[in-house]
A and B are shown apart, each in its own frame.
Chain A
Amino acid sequence: MHKQRLIFTIVFALVMSATVSLPAAQMVWSGLVIAENVPEPAPMPPELTRIGQTLKELFGYNQFEVIGQSTKTLRTGQEDWLASSKYFGLHVDARGETPVGYLVDLKLYKEKDLLLETETKLSKRSPLVIKGPLVGSGQLLLVLMVQ
């Protein structure tokens, strides 16, 4: 009886400490963004507000427009999805969890042409921005972030 109580106390403490590190479902936002300089820039899209100032400083544009996006809830970390615009497609293939995020393969298509592919360890705390091709007077950016 006494041993059972002692074991219960130890197990309770272990469960409480383990609960701290339990993973939860995460939402990942992926977007195709056209950055350009215009006389009267539109407000920053809400999805990009978090990193808006950094985008302006890094790329030197004053307007950022989302031309394609997708929000995916990752439960197993093995999901894949596509964010697409009229001509571009960003295929995101999550291939499992890492201690701080997800292992993700990205492929940027221009219609049927594969322009770029990359394998990343996407951190939950660190958005990923990829500088794509120049489009007209602007620039295509690919943004991936865990929300």
Chain B
Amino acid sequence: MKTFEQKWTAWVDGELTGKELAEFEAALPDKAAAEAEKRDAQKLGALLKQELGADVLSNEEFFSHQLRERLARESAAPQRPVGRSTWWTVRRLAWSGAVSLAIFVVSTLFVLRENNPGEQSQYLTQILNARVDPAVSPNATISIFDSKDDRVTVLWVEGLQSLPADYAAK
């Protein structure tokens, strides 16, 4: 059982025929107004079809269109990465490793240069100053030299007061 709205739509679209058409038109309270409204609706429909004018695909074209889209998706799928994407590509890893190594080498050279200005004496003990009490040892003299073999630095003091053997006690 169609509702009035369904019959109205069918009537406007010209799809009512025979007895059903006669009964519907007889039921209309103002047939002239309804005919005018039908014409307006048909004009509007024609205008929309003209302006928006989307080509209606046939079943065959629609199926073909769907198939082409599916083929396009399937052919594109293997190009996408399968696993989780990551920033660490092999190229970037190699570059990061090279940069890290370069920083390490530069820092190491910097530290070594700070600690090794190129003079061997930096590795030897240095006597900055030395003195003996002139009141106790007025003739004392001081000299400094290095033994290169063991890198021993020697402060050689001559002229200190000699002491008896008792002073060798532990």
Contacts and interface: CB of A to CB of B under 8 A. Distances in A.
B108 A135 contact: no
Contacts of A133: 160-163
Given A17-B108, A127-B125, A115 B168 contact: no
Dominant SS among interface residues on chain B: mixed
- The winner among A1, A36, A67, A120 for most chain B CB atoms within 10 A is A120
Interface residues of B, number: 50
A120 to B, nearest CB: 5
Given A54-B152, A126-B151, A132-B160, A113 B133 contact: yes
Contacts of B156: 131
Interface string A3-16: 00110011011101
A25 B161 CA distance: 38
Interface of B: 87-88, 96, 99-101, 103-104, 107-108, 111, 114-115, 122-133, 136-137, 146-147, 149-158, 160-170
8 contacts: A34-B168, A117-B131, A126-B152, A129-B154, A131-B157, A132-B157, A132-B160, A133-B160
